């Protein structure tokens, strides 16, 4: 039983190649796998109602996220791939179309949400749930203010003013920087 302490030969302790000698109790070689001290991050799918698909609410936040996105890098990369101004115009048109689709999705979401709230207001009102009806009316008021902001943004987009211009300016700036980089690298660096 105590034979373990009386061994005098070097012994391989485990698969991690740790060698220990009894004479001087020093570690000669240590190779410890990374997974012992570092836990790898594992991506797990977000569970939603059905089919483990991530559900995205099409609220006004979706629209703001789209408008706040920096399109400068995409413009720069597009210019490096195809340095043609026609390509710039087509990509700006594609961005505008994507914004219009996003606006339609958000408008549809709020229109449906308001219809659903109206149903609940009527239903809960008939049941005498005054506090719940007041809460629902407040939520409806918030949804109506959001949809009016979305409609305002849609008009600004059609007039080429307002928040949507930042997206176009960002993409154009990136594209022009890409064109400049091509000229700088291929022509200006020669002499």
For 123-156, write each residue's pLDDT tens digit. 999 999 999 999 999 999 999 999 999 999 999 9
Q: Is the pLDDT of residue 11 over 80?
A: no
91 CB-near residues (< 8 Å, 6+ apart) = 74, 75, 78, 171, 175
What stretch of H or E contains 120?
helix 85-126
The answer to whether the pTM exceeds 0.85 is no
**Pairing relation of β-strands 11-12 and 19-20?**
antiparallel
pLDDT band at 83 (very low <50, low <70, confident <90, very high): confident
The larger pLDDT score, comparing residue 57 to residue 135, is at 135
| Lowest-confidence pick of 20-29, 32-41, 91-100, 142-151 | 20-29
- Residue 190 has a pLDDT of 65
User: What pLDDT is stored for residue 184 in this prediction?
Assistant: 78
């Amino acid at each position: 039983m105590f034979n373990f302490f009386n061994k005098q030969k070097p012994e391989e302790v485990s698969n991690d190649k740790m060698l220990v000698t009894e004479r001087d109790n020093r570690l000669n070689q240590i190779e410890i796998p990374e997974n012992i001290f570092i836990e790898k991050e594992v991506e797990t799918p977000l569970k939603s109602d059905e089919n483990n698909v991530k559900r995205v609410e099409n609220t006004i936040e979706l629209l703001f996220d789209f408008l706040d996105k920096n399109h400068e890098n995409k413009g720069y990369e597009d210019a490096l791939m195809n340095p043609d101004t026609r390509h710039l115009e087509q990509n700006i048109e594609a961005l505008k179309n994507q914004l219009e689709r996003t606006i339609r999705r958000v408008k549809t979401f709020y229109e449906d949400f308001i219809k659903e709230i109206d149903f609940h207001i009527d239903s809960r009102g008939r049941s005498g749930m005054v506090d719940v009806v007041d809460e629902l009316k407040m939520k409806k008021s918030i949804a109506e203010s959001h949809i009016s902001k979305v409609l305002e943004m849609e008009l600004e987009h059609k007039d080429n003013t307002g928040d949507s211009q930042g997206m176009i300016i960002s993409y154009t700036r990136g594209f022009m920087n890409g064109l400049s980089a091509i000229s700088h690298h291929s022509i200006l660096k020669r002499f």
